[in-house]
Amino acid sequence: MKSMENPNETRDIARMEMANRMFFRLYQCANMLHKTGTRAVENLGLTTQQWAVLGALSRPGAAEGMSVGDLARYLMVTRQNLSALVNRMEQAGHVETRPNGRDRRSRLITMTPHGRKVWHEEAIPRIHQYYDRALGEFSLGDMSHTLHYLLKLLDNMQALDEEHQ
C-alpha cells in the first residue's frame, strides 16, 4: 500500500524549487545586465555601475550632490565599493568630490560639466536603445507587474538586511 504524501510538505518542496529557480534567474539577469549594459555604454568609458552613479546624481533631488553614505545607501552598495568607483569616475572627469558645507566630515559627489554632457548627450540615448531591446517583448503592463514584484522582493530583502545590522 502506497503511503499518502503530506500535502504541506509537497507544497513546501515545490515552493523552494520555484524560489531556487527565481533567484537563479534573478542572478543570471543581474549578470547579463552588467555584461550587456556595460557593452551599451563602454565606448563612453562607462560601466553599468558608473551608469547607476550618474543616473543617481542626475536626479533633481541630487543637483547639489550626494554624500558618499547617501549615494551608497541609494545604490545599495558598500561605501568601500562606491569609493573605489567614485575614484575611477573622478579620474575620468565624470564626477568630483568636494567638502559638504553642512558637514565638514562629509564629502559631496557631484557630476562635472563633462559628466553631465556625457550623461545627457551620449549615455541616455544609448541606455534608451538598450532598454528598448532588452524589454522589446514587454508591454507596459508587463513592465508594471515586473516592477511591482521586484519592489516587493527588494522590500523583503531590505528587511532581512536590517536584521543583521
Q: What is the pLDDT of residues 55-78, one digit of tens each?
A: 999 999 998 899 999 999 999 999
Residue with cell 545586465: 33
Residue at 77 is within a domain: yes
The whole domain housing 68 covers 46-112
Question: pLDDT grade, residue 3 (50/70/90)?
Answer: low
Is the pLDDT at 93 greater than 90, yes or no? yes
Residue at 76 is within a domain: yes
Residue at 52 is within a domain: yes
134 within 8 A of 39, measured Cβ to Cβ: no
Residue at 108 is within a domain: yes
The three-state secondary structure class of 98 is strand
| Mean pLDDT score across all residues of the chain | 93
The confidence score (pLDDT) of residue 4 equals: 63
The three-state secondary structure class of 77 is coil
pTM: 0.87
Dihedral pair phi/psi, residue 134, rounded to 5°: -70, -30
CATH of the domain at 63: 1.10.10.10
Give the separation between CA 63 and CA 38, rounded to whole angstroms.
25
Q: Kind and range of the H or E element at 18?
A: helix 7-41
Count of structural domains within the chain: 1
